[in-house]
Structures are given as structure tokens and as C-alpha cells.
Amino acid sequence: MAGLAAARQVQAAGHTVTVLDKSRGVGGRLATRRIGDAVLDHGAQFFTVRGDSFSGLVDEAAKAGAVAEWCRGFGEEDGYARWRGDAGMTSLAKWMAQPLDVQLANHVHAISVGSDGVRVVDATGTTLALGNHAIVTAPIPQILTMFGHGDVAPGSSLEQSLRATSYFATLALLAVVNGPTNVAEPGGMQFETGPFTFIADNQRKGISPVQALTFHAAHEYSLRRYDDDDETVHGELLAMAAPWLGEATVVESQLKKWRYAGPVKPLTNRTEVIAAGAHTIALAGDAFGGPKIEGAFNSGQAAADAVAAAIAD
């Protein structure tokens, strides 16, 4: 989200932008997976809208059919819209990416700054992109790895803050089911305590033609079990899910792991800028803008503003 928001804004200002992503699809943590006929969101489950800028984007996306309102609250309605992607959360990212030059399956290994610009290379040393400026929006530990393999030094105080930023993990159980479950209306349940933070029925959410549930394990459990044997953890999650599975039969299930699910404590500024002469590197993502889709969007826009200011200088 941060990268797409930044790229759209920089491109709209008349500059040439290339978006690189290591994955085979756009969206990062806006992630939708298919298991047979089932469609399941396994990262972010929904989004809310607070600021004008994000609201403008969501209005446009809704008109284009990329997003739709899911509900107005889980458990009790509170009047605030919870949005979903039309065919899963990636629908929003795919729609945002339409006007952009996005190059997928490009894993950035190193970033360096020279007199000719900011150079981004893969693990074989092949240049993936060379530009005057770069906006880097991976989770912070991955940004630091790219800098470490290259020659970008954020400066000691920023580097200290970046190194101090930790993320909570999330283990997700994806289950294609058949039969009546105990997942309450509107097909989404949010919890402050207990084994899960969120449970979604992707069919009632409106994205899956067949019954399919997503369970997000609590942060403490996810961190504690993250590196344990996948098969054991998968079985444990199925047992933990039993009270909500009710009478339904699990047809197929998968475990999905998010090592960097969200920042424990976001940084103070929406973006940070590392300047090296005529070349600027701006950092963005939910660790800067806040641990939500709108936070990532705001951060991407702030990074685009920072680059625009550097270009104007």
C-alpha cells in the first residue's frame, strides 16, 4: 500500500516511476489466496477510512468496483464502515497498480547511492533500477538488509530508531469448510483476548464463492510458535479453531505465516528522508504511518511529498 500510494502520487506529478516487488503479485500484506474454488484474505481483513486523502482514493476505488463496504462493525455496529476488496483485499492493490509500471518477482538485494543515482540490484548484482530518487517501503528489517548489502547509511540517530523497531508476528490458519460454523454475523469476529484476534468467513464477507474461514492467532502465540514445526503448529491451530468450526467439516487447510505483521510501536514521522547529494531515499510503510492500511497509505504519500520537494530543490 505504501509503495503503490507513493508511486501513484509521484507519477501524477509527472515523473517516471518504476515499482519493484519481490512477490508474484501486488499488495504485500493486502493478500488474497485461492484454495481450489475458495478465496481467502490471509493478511489484512478490512480497512477503515479516516482522512480526506484516503477517503478520496477509496471513493474512486469504490466507483471502479475495486472495493465495497463489508459491514459497520463486528459484534456491535458502531456506524463506521469496514471496507473489503471486491474479490479480496488484493483487489484494491491491483486497481491502484493499474496505471503504474510494476515489475514483480524482483527481489531487491542491495541499494547503493553513487554519482549516477540510486542503484537497486538483485542478488546476482544485476541492476533492477537506477533512478534519481528511491522510496523504500518494505518492513524495516528488510530495508536495513538492503542498505547493509549496499552502501546506504541512514545516519546514527535514524539508524538507532530503525533498529529499535520491532514487529509482531501473525500465524494464520486458512480453512475451506463445509457445513454450519459458529462464526457470527457479519462473517467477521474481532477479539481483544483469546486464541485468535480475528476470524473471518470469507463467503459471508462476500469474496469467496464457497465457505472458507481465516483465523488469525493471537500475537503472543504467533511469536512463541513462529519458528516451531509448521505441521505441529497447523494441527494445534485447527484444534484451537474447533469451537468456531462448529459442525463444519474442514475440507482443506493451510498455515500462513507473517513474520512482519505490524510494528509494535510505530515511529514518530510518516516518512524519513536520507539525502545523499542530488539523490534522495525516502522510507515509508506502516512502521512510519501507523499499523493499518490507511497508515501505510499516508506514509507513502508523505514519502512522495518528500521526493517531490527534493526534485523541486
Query: Which spans of this chain sit near ligand FAD (rule: CB under 6 A)?
Result: 1-3, 20-23, 28-30, 43-47, 107-108, 137-139, 142, 146, 170, 172, 216, 258, 261-262, 285-286, 291-293, 295-296
Residue closer to ligand FAD (CB basis): 15 or 109: 109
Residue closer to ligand FAD (CB basis): 68 or 180: 68
Residue closer to ligand FAD (CB basis): 108 or 212: 108
Minimum distance of ligand FAD from residue 286's CB (angstroms): 3
Minimum distance of ligand FAD from residue 306's CB (angstroms): 16
Residue closer to ligand FAD (CB basis): 181 or 298: 298
Residue closer to ligand FAD (CB basis): 221 or 258: 258
Minimum distance of ligand FAD from residue 170's CB (angstroms): 4
Minimum distance of ligand FAD from residue 13's CB (angstroms): 20
For ligand FAD, the nearest residue by Cβ is 28
Residue closer to ligand FAD (CB basis): 38 or 108: 108
Minimum distance of ligand FAD from residue 27's CB (angstroms): 6
Residue closer to ligand FAD (CB basis): 107 or 179: 107
Q: CA of 285: how far to CAs of 5, 7, 33, 249, 313, in Å?
A: 10, 13, 22, 39, 24
Minimum distance of ligand FAD from residue 313's CB (angstroms): 26
- DSSP notation for the chain: -HHHHHHHHHHHTT---EEE-SSSSS-TTS-EEEETTEEEE-S---B---SHHHHHHHHHHHHTTSEEEEES-SSS--S--EEEEBTBTHHHHHHHHTTSEEE-S----EEEEETTEEEEE-TTS-EEEEESEEEE-S-HHHHHHHHHHTT----HHHHHHHHH--EEEEEEEEEEEES---PPTTTEEE-SSSSEEEEEEHHHHTS-SS-EEEEEE-HHHHHHHTTS-HHHHHHHHHHHHHHHHTTPEEEEEEEEEEEEEEESS--SSS-EEEEETTEEEEE-SHHHH-SSHHHHHHHHHHHHHHHHHHHH-
Minimum distance of ligand FAD from residue 4's CB (angstroms): 8
